[in-house]
Amino acid sequence: MNPRVLDIIEIIDTIAPFQLAEEWDNVGLQVGDPSAKVSRIMVSLDAGDEAIDAAVAGQCQLLLTHHPLIFRPLKTISLADPSGALIGKAIRNSLSIVSLHTNFDIAEGGVNDLLADKLGVVSTVPLSVTYRDELVKLAVFVPKGYEEKVSQALFQFTGNIGTYSDCSFRVEGVGTFTPHDGASPFIGTIGVREFAEETRIEVLLRKVDVDQALAALSSVHPYEEPAVDLYPLMNEGVRKGLGRIGTLKQPLSL
């Protein structure tokens, strides 16, 4: 089954998150139908006449560009204007246009990193920091025997500190709860207070990954109502930004 335009946008968002883009930038869907099916894609620096004509001639349903077709809000779309003519041509030919600009410049493994790698530049840091990950600590209480299952589900989205992965902290304790009518407790009896041996698992994650981490946790946690705490942190996350400064592997002449 062919993916939709929206499916491809979501994949791009995992490679070069749109939230990394500069405030003045306009990335993502420029023109088109998010639900349209895609069997052929064309890639171009710009969405100019030649690129759109080539995409249409190649029977493409999606044109991916680096530079956005629309930078600023449009008051009118006139086919007599250059930008309006391009938009009209794309719409008439059922061609969607998606742009990834400064988000792809800033992203790890994006344009700046690729250029640095080609030049043999190592130990790079951003020239200008434009984004810092907001961090959250997640703590969840898990019954005995489910620690690894829950941890592995969380580690898909959490647990990375520097060059280390699968980072967590565990402490054992006793949790109490009383199930009431309508509950379907994993352990315990309706109307009777339960004392359960549990393990508290703590992990570090980015704020943008919280929803996915909670969904993964809920899918494997045995409790009907998992006890989860989320703490916003003042710790500074990974710095990301435009440009790269680094060291050449070998000296080069200009």
The model carries a pTM of 0.76
Mean pLDDT rounded to a whole number for the chain = 95
Contact 172, 143 (CB under 8 A): no
Q: What does the domain layout of the chain look like in residue ranges?
A: 5-104, 108-127+239-248, 134-232
Q: What share of the chain is helix, strand, coil (3-state, %, to 5)?
A: 25, 30, 40
| List of residues 6+ apart from 15 with CB closer than 8 A | 107, 109
Model confidence at 73, in pLDDT bands (50, 70, 90)?
confident
Name the class of domain 134-232. Answer: alpha beta
| List of residues 6+ apart from 215 with CB closer than 8 A | none
**Which numeric CATH code is attached to 5-104?**
3.40.1390.30
- The whole-number pLDDT of residue 102 equals 98
Encode burial over 42-80: b for 16+ CB neighbours within 10 A, e otherwise.
Answer: bebebbeeebbeebbeeebbbbbbbebbbeeeeeeeeee
Query: What are phi and psi for residue 115, nearest 5 degrees?
Result: -65, -45
- Tens-digit pLDDT profile for residues 146-181: 999 999 999 999 878 878 999 999 999 999 999 999
Smallest Cα–Cα separation from 43: which of 28, 65, 12, 13? 65
- Farthest CA pair distance, the chain: 79
